[in-house]
Amino acid sequence: MLGLLWPRLRTAGRLLNVNSRVPSGGKRVYSEQPRRNPDFGSISDADIARFEIIIPKRVITSPEVLDSANVDWMVSCRGNSKVLLKPKSTQEVSDILALCSERHLAVVPQGGNTGLVGGGVPVHDEVILSSQLMDSIISVDETTGVLVCQAGCVLERLETYLSDVNLIPPYDLGAKGSCHIGGNVATNAGGLRFLRYGSLHGNVLGLEVVLADGKVLDLMSVLRKDNTGYDMKQLFIGSEGSLGFITTVSLLCPRKPTSINVAFLAVTSFEDVVKLLKSAKSGLGEILSAFEFIDMSAMEGVETYLELKDPLRDCSNRLYNFYVLIETHGFHSDHDSRRLDDWLADSMDSGLVENGTVAADYRQMLSLWQFRERISEAVKHEGRVAKYDISLSLESYYRVVTATRERFGGSVHRVTGYGHVGDGNLHLNVVTDESARDLRDDLDKFVMEWVREAKGSISAEHGIGLHKRGYLHYSKSSTAIHLMKDIKKLFDPTGILNPYKLFI
Amino acid sequence: MAAAGMKIMVGCKRVIDYAVKVRVRPDKTGVVTEGVKHSMNPFDEIAVEEAVRLREKKLAGELIAVSCGPKECGETLRTALAMGFDRAIHVEINDPKVYETLSPLHVSKIFAKLVEKEKPGLVILGKQAIDDDCNQTGQMLAGLLRWPQATFTSKLSVNGDSADITREVDGGLETIKVSLPAVVTADLRLNEPRYATLPNIMKAKKKPMDKVNPTELGVDLSPRVEILKVEEPPVREAGVKVDNVDELINRLKNEACVI
């Protein structure tokens, strides 16, 4: 009956992810694709002409380009924006937003469009404001490690540039070939180096942001320490484009390690994974840079769908229960290798590690990382993947996987857990049939409830965007959420920046 | 020669890792090797893997890894031992000047002497080293030993006292049969080298590594080549768009000077 009152919207033949939440009354409410806010203006020819004056030849209305800009990387949601704008400078962004503010035109900031929660694409006809042409690297200081660049710089390009001056970005993601630093900052991207170099909240030293009304907010700095009033830039980091459009970033970059090692280890139980983590923190200390884990199901998926073979397949030819991938970063090749070797020898002798290998060269390093980085790709072949990116205490960490497996194992293709165990961040993937929508709703509810009970985070890294709005209250109190909405109203009174995202 | 007991000798060269961005030394006499990651030449890894597989098929007996160079070559040899080799021979060359001008002819002479001593039934080398790209050592060694050679091997099957080989050549694949003993050089598609697992890495530490002085072998390592200058290749310039055909022809003629 509710189905009649809330018609499901099909876009491009794909149904939007349906989030359901169960308020304490017990009644099921589906929060679907939000209705278009009637207070927003609609793009007119006059608007297009005015945009053309601000950014000549960079007002895109061609259907082919808009087609791909309207849909996210996961192909999970599609909007119908008719205009894509590509400013090159902060001034242009300012003029654009001033105009949008005047005309009440909704805007969706878009970086590399690699987000996983539908936060970077329009829901309806929001103007897409792209950082693609804002890709200048402004300066880099080799001594302090501070990089200043525009928000549209692609991470991989920054990595290459920084490499020449012996620096690296403090974060690294699978999407690095496409993601923009502005988007990474707006989503507080975590990634594979988090364990060693920490959060963007610590590494971003300054920002330049354009607010909803076009006002330029200069929070730029190259200073490490600056206790002068409220640290406003922290608000924008992780704000998912809802409080302002980031135009320039000042980022603290660590020195590029000259010695990198990768070890791939097999352990018997998750308790052993945790013990190994503790041991690695002291045994490898400051050279420990990444500590990832993969369960047997994920390894099996990678072997089956990507035709890679578990590097530790022994003569009994079986898969191990858990795998751990460790990376070290240091500056003394001999010292690091010896330290790693000694620690591995101890771990094997004590029986904590069943088997393992150390990459002999870069080729093997890249090859070993594949077993962790391509799990997503592998399981995609098997069906529709429900992905949960959660944070939990180490006690609860793997229990959510076993609980999900117990409850749903029989009715799904696969339940697998893998991820940044060193950061307490788990990627839980459940592969179902494409058609099993009700099952996925139950699954969502089950996992989110479980995480709430365990006082975990329902979104460790990926953010809220469109898809997880229904679960924000699982991890944040209503007082907190109300304050967030107040802040949003303060920065964006007419709500034109990335509407329909973050909050219900 | 009985295949089951057949000794195999494999060469393992320590080279700058393929993923490293190589830089020219400021004095332009060579490339920077200090503090730069080195590893086993990828084609040699493939050669090592092939030998281990032959032994697993019970077509080989003792596996010996050989490397020529400074003390760091010991690490390269330990990798081979960890992949399953039994013994390593480290031909020590500690003088950096001598090492810098060490060339395929020197190396093949060293190997020829070792072959005389060890009498392997098969020598497998990588087809070329990724630092000098010479692609000569295997061929020269076969010449010195007057043995058959099978270069650019992508498939190897040993049958008693001969081997069937598939070679990768410009025109496609060539199948030949060589009698053993022979020199084989390994190409990329011969196999995919295994990862050395921890238990084997630990065992490798205890396996024998003999040190040999090239003068003991009676090989003269005087340089046959003098390096005059080492330079970076010219920086690749950005492509240029032209507005019309006339401009294209003009620039091809007057700037690029190709027509």
pLDDT per residue as tens digits for the range A356-411:
999 988 889 999 999 998 998 899 899 989 999 999 999 999 999 999 999 998 99
User: Helices (DSSP H) in chain B: which residue ranges?
Assistant: 42-56, 73-83, 96-100, 104-118, 137-145, 198-204, 245-254
Range with lowest mean pLDDT among A118-127, A148-157, A309-318: A309-318
Say if residues B113 and B9 touch (Cβ distance below 8 Å). no
**Which pLDDT does position A20 carry in this prediction?**
34
Measured between alpha carbons, how far is A267 from A355 in angstroms, rounded to an integer? 7
Amino acid at B152: F
The position carrying tokens 């969502």 is: A444
Q: Say if the Cβ atoms of A345 and B202 lie within 8 Å.
A: yes
Categorize the per-residue pLDDT at A36 as very low, low, confident or very high, splitting at 50, 70 and 90: very high
> What is residue A411's predicted lDDT score, i.e. its pLDDT?
92
Which one-letter amino acid corresponds to residue B3? A
Q: Identify whether the C-beta of residue B196 lies closer than 8 Å to the C-beta of residue A360.
A: yes
The string over A184-215, giving b where at least 16 C-beta atoms fall within 10 Å of a residue's C-beta and e elsewhere, is: bbbbbbbbbbbbbbbbbeebbbbbbbbbbbbe
CA A389/CA A403 separation, integer angstroms: 16
Single pTM value for the model: 0.83
Bridge partners, A400 (sequence order): none
pLDDT tier at A469 (50, 70, 90 boundaries)? Answer: very high
Give how far A356 is from chain B: nearest CA, Å: 5
Task: Give the helix/strand (H/E) hosting A49.
Answer: helix A45-54
Q: What is the distance between the alpha carbons of residues A93 and A99, in angstroms, rounded to a whole number? A: 10
Structure tokens at A178: 């496409």
Determine the average pLDDT of the residues in A463-478: 94
pLDDT of A14 > 70? The answer is no
Q: Which of A231, A483, A395 is nearest to A472 (CA)?
A: A483
Which whole number is the average pLDDT over A305-311?
88
Q: What is the mean pLDDT of residues A233-261?
A: 96
Q: Which residue is closest to A262 within chain B, CA to CA?
A: B195
How many CB atoms within 10 Å of residue A139? 10
SS3 content of chain A, % helix, strand, coil (to 5): 35, 20, 40
* CA atoms of B215 and B224, how far apart (whole Å): 17
Higher pLDDT, A316 or B149: B149
Q: What percentage of residues in chain A have a pLDDT greater than 90?
A: 83
Q: B80 with B62: CB under 8 angstroms?
A: no
Q: Which range is least confidently modeled, A230-239, A392-401, B236-245?
A: B236-245
Mutate to test the interface with A, among B33, B43, B198, B235 (most CBs of A within 10 A): B198
What is the structure's pLDDT at A21?
34
- DSSP tag of A22: -
Answer yes or no: is pLDDT of A23 > 70. Answer: no
For residue A2, pLDDT beyond 70: no
- H or E, element range at A236: helix A233-236
- The encoded tokens of residue B19 equal 């993923």
Burial (CB count <10 Å: 0-12, 13-18, 19+), residue B255: exposed
Which residues of B, range 193-252, sit inside 8 Å of A by Cβ?
194-199, 201-202
* Å between A357 CA and nearest CA of chain B: 4
The three-class DSSP label of residue B203 is helix
What does the mean pLDDT of chain A come to?
90
Which of A361, A366, A371 is most worth mutating to test chain B (most B CB atoms within 10 A of its CB)? A361
Tokens, residue A138: 């402004």
C-alpha distances in angstroms, A424 versus A10, A15, A392? Answer: 36, 32, 6
Mean pLDDT score of chain B, rounded to an integer?
Answer: 93
| Least confident segment among A84-98, A438-452, B28-42, B169-183 | B28-42
Handedness of CA A286, A289, A294, A299 (dihedral sign): negative
Q: Which amino acid is at A75?
A: V
Tokens in use for A411?
């009715």
Task: Flag if A358 and B196 touch (Cβ within 8 Å).
Answer: yes
Q: What is the pLDDT of residues A170-194, one digit of tens each?
A: 999 888 999 999 999 999 999 889 9
Which residues in B161-176 are b (16+ Cβ under 10 Å) and which e?
Answer: eebebbbbeeeeeeee
Chain-chain contact of A357 with B198 (C-beta, under 8 angstroms): yes
pLDDT band at A314 (very low <50, low <70, confident <90, very high): low
Whether residue A120 has pLDDT greater than 70: yes
Distances (CA, A) of B179 to A380, B55, B57, B115, B118: 50, 19, 19, 17, 19
Q: Who's near B165: CB < 8 A, 6+ residues apart?
A: B150, B153, B155, B156, B175, B176, B177, B178, B184
Strands A322-330 and A288-295: antiparallel
Give the chain B residue whose CA is nearest to the CA of A312: B197
pLDDT score at B5: 85
Partners of residue B18 in chain A, C-beta under 8 Å? 361-363
CA distance B42 to chain A (A): 9
pLDDT given at position A6: 30
From chain A, which residues contact B within 8 Å (Cβ)?
163, 258-260, 264-265, 311-312, 314, 333, 341, 344-345, 348, 353, 355-364, 366, 368
Query: Phi and psi (nearest 5°) for A378?
Result: -65, -50
Spatial separation of the C-alpha atoms in residues A336 and A314, rounded to whole Å:
27
Worst-scoring range by mean pLDDT, A25-34, A116-125, A436-445? A25-34
What's the confidence (pLDDT) of residue A177?
A: 92
Residue A247 to residue A88: CA distance in whole angstroms: 10
- Given a cut of 80, is residue A233 above it in pLDDT? yes
